[in-house]
Amino acid sequence: MSASTEAQPRYAAPTRVDVTECRTDRLVDRARSNRVADSEVHLERRGGRTFLVTTPTER
């Protein structure tokens, strides 16, 4: 049996962080801190709120 570890965690489901009140010059830092291995990070608008969404990619 072998175990492998990744440098960053992976999430099984999309994660959303509310960044509505976040300054625009801080969004890059927020995206970098919320990025996980093999994932896509994008902004999403819902009901007047803005979310930073991390979506895992298929392996």
Highest mean pLDDT among 13-17, 26-30, 47-51: 47-51
- Supply the pLDDT for residue 13: 65
The domains of the chain are located at 15-56
- Tell me, letter by letter, the H, E, C secondary structure of 6-59: CCCCCCCCCEEEECCCCCHHHHHHHHHHHCCCCEEEEEEEECCEEEEEEEECCC
* Residue-wise pLDDT tens digits, 15-24: 888 999 989 8
pLDDT exceeds 90 at position 45? yes
